[in-house]
């Protein structure tokens, strides 16, 4: 049924290392030519006027100043709701110094989970999936007898008790030599099952990709279709997300206009743009644009995509100690406001979608961050939090 390859794909590892020394802002501007390129001004649209309590434009503009710097080589930010603003800054490619693209496609990482949850909940609204139905009934034979019945809802809100599965490394440095290899989602799930349960279903919340890999398998079993096509017809097409897609199995490229991603490895910037993300699948291998992510955010929160009973699931945090996630989305507070959103991180790329429940403020960004998987909070504080300052 699925189109993903089962063979291992290998390619020669090409490391683009900038040897000017540790990654500090002065070292980036090593030559006069570089200094000119790196000083490319931010492209920004003014905040809409006549709106009370609009975004903190001064802070947003300051966040984009000086890119590229030690934390990121480019950034795209879109703010909406009561007052809108958008801007971009930095470079598309460190070798050429070309200005960053505001319409760039990027690896959206775990924001993919919001799409997967939406597909499952649409199928639930259609009566094709019962959220109280079990993995054991939908996917017989997937789990061993060591597992108690796990419901679809428990997969959605990360309380299934499944443990994380096999990976190609615990850090970007460990993963990098294997970036063109293929680890299938089936292998990841099988290795998780082999470990046995972490805890009884519903007893605790542990965020992880594994829950959403199983959900994608369930989507395919119920529909007789690929997860990718279901995401396209149930989410992308209805919301007009024309520039959002998934890689063709192990294809490591980002097709279409994009800003290149770099990772700081031992004080050197390494180009990590090309990377086989097939093991992340429905949990994290989506490619999108900031404008499309904004369409997803608004389409979800407004109820355009899901009926209210199913939409409510996305904002329902289970009653277990320390829980902060609903179905895909995380609840947090910024400047006294309750915000719901999702972060996504892949090597070289960090993304965020977040909004107040009533859509009075929304923010989406893509940052080509030099430590994308490590500095999520610092990046959000810089590029997202100013949207909620007033």
Residues labelled catalytic:
110
DSSP letters along 79-142, please?
EEESS-EEEEEEEEETTTTEEPPTT-BEE-GGGHHHHHHHHHHHHHHTTS--TTSBHHHHSTTS
Structure tokens at 62: 């300051």
Q: What distance in Å separates the CA atoms of residue 216 and residue 23, rounded to the nearest whole number?
A: 39
Contacts of 82 (CB under 8 A, 6+ apart): 51, 52, 53, 54, 360, 361
Contact 189, 208 (CB under 8 A): no
Q: What is the largest CA-CA distance in the chain?
A: 66
Length of the chain: 390
Contacts of 193 (CB under 8 A, 6+ apart): 142, 143, 144, 147, 162
Contacts of 99 (CB under 8 A, 6+ apart): 40, 43, 91, 92
Residue with tokens 């609903």: 326
Closest CA to 59 of 336, 330, 363, 297: 363
Secondary structure class of 148 (helix, strand, coil): coil
Closest CA to 367 of 259, 256, 284, 267: 259
Q: What distance in Å separates the CA atoms of residue 315 and residue 340, rounded to the nearest whole number?
A: 8
């Amino acid at each position: 049924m699925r189109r993903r390859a089962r063979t291992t794909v290998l390619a020669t590892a090409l490391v683009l290392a900038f040897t000017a020394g540790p990654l500090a802002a002065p070292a980036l501007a090593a030559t006069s030519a570089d200094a000119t390129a790196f000083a490319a001004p931010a492209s920004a649209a003014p905040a809409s006027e006549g709106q009370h309590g609009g975004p903190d434009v001064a802070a947003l503009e300051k966040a984009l100043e000086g890119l590229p710097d030690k934390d990121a080589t480019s950034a795209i930010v879109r703010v909406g709701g009561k007052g809108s603003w958008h801007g971009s800054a930095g470079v598309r490619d460190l070798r050429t110094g070309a200005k960053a693209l505001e319409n760039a496609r990027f690896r959206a990482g775990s924001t993919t989970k919001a799409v997967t949850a939406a597909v499952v909940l649409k199928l639930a609204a259609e009566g094709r999936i019962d959220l109280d139905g079990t993995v054991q009934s939908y996917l017989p034979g997937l789990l061993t007898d060591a597992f108690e019945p796990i419901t679809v809802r428990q997969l959605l809100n990360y309380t299934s008790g499944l443990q994380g599965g096999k990976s190609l490394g615990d850090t970007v440095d460990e993963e990098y030599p294997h970036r063109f290899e293929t680890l299938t989602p089936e292998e990841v799930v099988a290795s998780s099952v082999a470990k046995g349960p972490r805890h009884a279903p519903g007893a605790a919340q542990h965020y992880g990709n594994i829950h959403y890999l199983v959900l994608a398998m369930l989507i395919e079993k119920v529909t007789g279709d690929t997860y990718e096509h279901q995401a396209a017809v149930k989410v992308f097409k209805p919301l007009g997300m024309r520039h959002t897609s998934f890689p063709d199995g192990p294809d490591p490229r980002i097709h279409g206009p994009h800003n290149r991603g770099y990772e700081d490895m031992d004080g050197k910037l390494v180009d990590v743009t090309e990377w086989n993300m097939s093991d992340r699948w429905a949990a994290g291998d989506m490619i999108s644009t900031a404008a499309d992510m904004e369409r997803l955010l608004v389409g979800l929160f407004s109820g355009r995509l899901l009926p209210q009973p199913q939409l409510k699931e996305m904002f329902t945090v289970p009653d277990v100690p320390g829980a902060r996630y609903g179905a895909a989305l995380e609840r947090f507070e910024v400047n006294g406001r309750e915000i719901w959103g999702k972060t996504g991180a892949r090597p070289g790329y960090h993304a965020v979608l977040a909004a107040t429940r009533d859509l009075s403020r929304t923010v989406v960004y893509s940052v080509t961050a030099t430590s994308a998987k490590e500095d999520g909070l610092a990046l959000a504080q810089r590029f997202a939090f100013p949207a909620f300052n007033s």
